[in-house]
Structure 1
Amino acid sequence: MLKAIDFAQLYRDHLARSGRRFKTPEDWDVKAEKIRTTVLESAYRTAFVSKVECSAGDTVLDVGCGPGTIALALAPQVKRVYALDYSQGMLDAMLKNAAQLQLHNVQPILASWEEDWEDVPVCDIAIVSRASIVADMDDALTKLNLHARKKVYMTQLVGGRFGSREIETLLGREDRSFPDHMYIINMLYQRHIYPNVDYIESTNRLAGSSSLSEFIEKVRNSFIDLSVEDIAKLSQWYLSDPEYAQQGGEPLRWAFLSWTPRQ
């Protein structure tokens, strides 16, 4: 029964309901220099890299590399990293970071998920870090499996939200979540691929509030319009457990999926 379900179409339907507006390369070009160095040190980066098994002779394809968050952390450990992104600005930022770190084994590739990848090299390892909310996941998985000889590593949002599920539910907001990792697990299962699943946790956007008013302002930035009733609900939620509320509630979770490609 499970193998008869069209998870690829269900993924596309869910993505359509989310109202996802994909950023253009120009959108990311504008952001590139601002975030160039801020993403190079984080608990997420450390956790991701610690889960990747690689050796000095390996080649790595980093899809959606951005300014080199993962690519440049892996570069000293491997033979070569091919850093792929559809934003030239991000690739320029990545190369600037690589130069400052004196890393000479990183090669940029300007390409998107939607292109045919005919000129993208097949590598030992393919990684996708926080760049897997794509229009066609079925096609993305095919590309990754064809371009990795040994292993694929991917992170995908758990629950499909960058914001707080608890607060969204509390305020009765419409579910606009993105497709999460369970679609990918099932799509891989239908290909007779059985991924290992781990999780990386980090604080969500509401974390770090030192007062009720600051917390409400953070929520306002996420949900825009707050009614008097909304503020009353938020106040009650915050005051019922201030320590938990100051953490932003439940953490943001990324599913860390790893699998051996099956051609």
Structure 2
Amino acid sequence: MPLNAINFGHLYQLQMKAAGGREKPTSVWDKRAANLHNEPIESPYSRAFIANMDLTACRSLLDMGCGSGAIGLALAPQLEQVIGVDYSAGMLSAFRANAKARQLDNVLTIERAWEEDWQDIPMCDVVVASRSTAVMDMADALHKLDSKARKRVYLTNLVGGSFMSAELLTALGRKVYPQPDYIYILNILYQMGRQPRLDYIEARGRLAGTKSFAEFLAKASSSLGELTDQEQARLSDWYHAHPQRAARGGEGFKWAFISWETDAYAIKIKLPRVKQC
């Protein structure tokens, strides 16, 4: 079967559905955003993301899923305009507060979700989607990102489809069906006529940095849902058997860093119609 006959967008949707993927309600992000006003936005992750970018001859940037501004605001001093887009009003408020704290007057925000109409969103030289691509329809998302970028797009997507340590899940006796990961993105972009570049950003485990079992248990429950008494006992055994491993939260994970250049003259191969799941 020729590669272009495979509907990777539809396969992505099927795996996302099987993994129980769903868009978090805005209230979740609004609540989290309350703690992000005037907070430091620089991190090893954001530094690695920015280090992989090329802003040559770029004046404007669109930050989709901008959150509190870890990428867009860090780059704003180098650009004429930065547009932060998010479907959480709380996150956009944190974005604006962080911009004000940094005395940035070249930023604006737009409240918009991935699945909504983007026609009125301005084009920018560069478009980024940092840790915001756990979408229900990847083919649609990639076309939207591509359509708004004059020059380049940069995004990250979780490698392996799960934030949780595999060894910890095994110790708990949990089986987690992974969400679709970056390989779908590469294939969809290929079918769009793009030539994506791939790199990786290393990250600590989701449960890293806890200082007590109670804190570790709270983090694990937040990520995995309520744990049974038996699972809590297993988690305790795993935690206390190797304190240094527990402090790391188990093995870390990787973000796939994917970029491509857009070109008005590039040949785009029409994707097959995506069936709704």
TM class, shorter-length: 0.7 to 0.9
Quickly say closer, same or farther: Cα 1:228–1:24, change in 2 above 3 A.
closer
What amino acid sits opposite 1:17 in the alignment? A
Quickly say closer, same or farther: Cα 1:69–1:214, change in 2 above 3 A.
closer
Unmatched 5+ residue regions in structure 2? 269-277
CA contact (8 A) 1:216 1:231 kept: no
CA contact (8 A) 1:201 1:251 kept: yes
Distance in 2, matches of 1:228 and 1:87, equals 37
Distance in 1, matches of 2:235 and 2:25, equals 37
State the shift of 1:235 in Å. Answer: 3.1
1:131 matched residue in structure 2: 132
Instruction: Specify the SS of the correspondent of 1:208.
Output: coil
What amino acid sits opposite 2:237 in the alignment? S
State the shift of 1:3 in Å. Answer: 2.4
Deviations 1:128-161 (A, max 9, x none): 0011111111111111111111110000011111
2:154 matched residue in structure 1: 153
1:62 matched residue in structure 2: 63
Q: Which moved more, 1:214-223 or 1:181-190?
A: 214-223
Are residue 191 (structure 1) and residue 192 (structure 2) matched?
Answer: yes
State the shift of 1:8 in Å. Answer: 0.6
What amino acid sits opposite 2:190 in the alignment? Y
What amino acid sits opposite 1:45 in the alignment? S
CA contact (8 A) 1:154 1:257 kept: yes
Quickly say closer, same or farther: Cα 1:233–1:104, change in 2 above 3 A.
closer
What amino acid sits opposite 1:46 in the alignment? R
Q: If the length of structure 2 is used for normalisation, what is the TM-score? A: 0.84
What amino acid sits opposite 1:200 in the alignment? I
2:116 matched residue in structure 1: 115
What amino acid sits opposite 1:168 in the alignment? L
Instruction: Specify the SS of the correspondent of 1:189.
Output: helix
CA contact (8 A) 1:220 1:226 kept: no
State the shift of 1:49 in Å. Answer: 1.3
Distance in 2, matches of 1:213 and 1:113, equals 36
Distance in 2, matches of 1:33 and 1:237, equals 31
Please list, as runs of the form range in 1=range in 2, the aligned pairs for 1:203-222 lying within 5 A after superposition: 203-208=204-209, 219=220, 222=223
CA contact (8 A) 1:28 1:90 kept: yes
Quickly say closer, same or farther: Cα 1:75–1:235, change in 2 above 3 A.
same
Cα RMSD of the aligned pairs, angstroms, is 2.5
CA contact (8 A) 1:125 1:151 kept: yes
Deviations 1:149-197 (A, max 9, x none): 1110000011111222222234332323222111111111222322111
Instruction: Specify the SS of the correspondent of 2:126.
Output: strand
Quickly say closer, same or farther: Cα 1:143–1:222, change in 2 above 3 A.
closer
Please list, as runs of the form range in 1=range in 2, the aligned pairs for 1:240-259 lying within 5 A after superposition: 242-259=243-260
CA contact (8 A) 2:63 2:72 kept: yes
What amino acid sits opposite 1:199 in the alignment? Y
Quickly say closer, same or farther: Cα 1:172–1:7, change in 2 above 3 A.
farther
State the shift of 1:27 in Å. Answer: 3.2
State the shift of 1:220 in Å. Answer: 5.2
State the shift of 1:29 in Å. Answer: 2.4
Distance in 1, matches of 2:70 and 2:231, equals 41
CA contact (8 A) 2:37 2:98 kept: yes
Deviations 1:64-86 (A, max 9, x none): 11111111001011121111111
Distance in 2, matches of 1:210 and 1:57, equals 43
Percent identity, aligned pairs only? Answer: 44
1:179 matched residue in structure 2: 180
What amino acid sits opposite 1:235 in the alignment? D
What amino acid sits opposite 1:14 in the alignment? Q
Q: If the length of structure 1 is used for normalisation, what is the TM-score? A: 0.88
Match for residue 225 of structure 1 among 224, 227, 246: 227
Distance in 2, matches of 1:208 and 1:6, equals 41
Quickly say closer, same or farther: Cα 1:221–1:24, change in 2 above 3 A.
closer
Quickly say closer, same or farther: Cα 1:34–1:229, change in 2 above 3 A.
closer
Instruction: Specify the SS of the correspondent of 2:35.
Output: helix
2:53 matched residue in structure 1: 52
Instruction: Specify the SS of the correspondent of 2:193.
Output: coil
2:88 matched residue in structure 1: 87
CA contact (8 A) 1:212 1:235 kept: no
Quickly say closer, same or farther: Cα 1:76–1:229, change in 2 above 3 A.
closer
State the shift of 1:238 in Å. Answer: 6.3
State the shift of 1:93 in Å. Answer: 1.5
